[in-house]
Amino acid sequence: MTFRERLRARQLLLGTFIKTPVTHPVEIMGAAGFDFVVIDQEHAPFDRVDVDNLILAGRAAAIAVLVRVPGSEARDILPGLDCGAQGVLVPHVSSRAKARDVVAEARYQGGRRGFTNSSRAGRYGAAGFQEHVAAGDAQTAVLAMIEDVEALDALCDIVTVPGLDAVFIGRGDLSIALGVDSPAAPAVIAAAEKIAAAARQAEVALCAHVDRIDSPDVAWLRSLGVTAFIVASDQGLMRRAALQTLTAFRALCAS
């Protein structure tokens, strides 16, 4: 099954953000058995060549690679897809119009994705015209980040856009937007529950970020219907492992 098929089938999927512009974290996550990684172009220093190399690393390590793109325009969405990304995670999708535009930029048929089959996605020309168009539309996952107050008032309109595969519960940005000091605030919990209810009704998959997989948030998010979990990031996982190692070393030295 493709990543998109697994996402739409609500399989439990484990991923992490990639914030370091080198191939090794992608290879490590693939070898470890993670289902997917998300290259974070919104908040980390990636250029188009970096993205291209990391997607190639994902193919070598047999792990799905998505891109959290920096915006919702064609110039944001198309490059990663041409490089062979299995999907895009698009920030600040706050209206039906924006959701429709995002889907259109990621799809050929019924959309306006710019055509080329000369890239990695088209196997450098080996995929014929119709073959590439059909494969691109069938395999590209489109995930919208719900992280604005305006989006909460337009949820039913957003989640029912044809071609939208999943929504991401953006608790961090929602906390800022709602003027609270923690994603655990009641207002954010209520917003997350509202997003989840709309997604369930529209039969759209749910994705969320957690800092750790043993967090109490995980059971709560699972109860809401979240099936795709992005856990920390490559840097966050490395920092946690480093601190655990340091703590163990200090205990050893003190014994």
Instruction: Specify whether the CB–CB gap between 173 and 180 falls below 8 A.
Output: no
Q: Where are the beta strands (DSSP E) in the chain?
A: 13-18, 36-40, 64-68, 87-90, 141-146, 166-169, 205-210, 226-233
Choosing from 24, 43, 92, 209, the catalytic residue is: 43
Radius of gyration of the CA atoms of the chain, in A: 18
Instruction: Specify whether the CB–CB gap between 170 and 147 falls below 8 A.
Output: yes
Per the annotation, the verdict on 43 as an active-site residue is yes
Instruction: Specify whether the CB–CB gap between 76 and 130 falls below 8 A.
Output: no
> What residues are labeled active site?
43
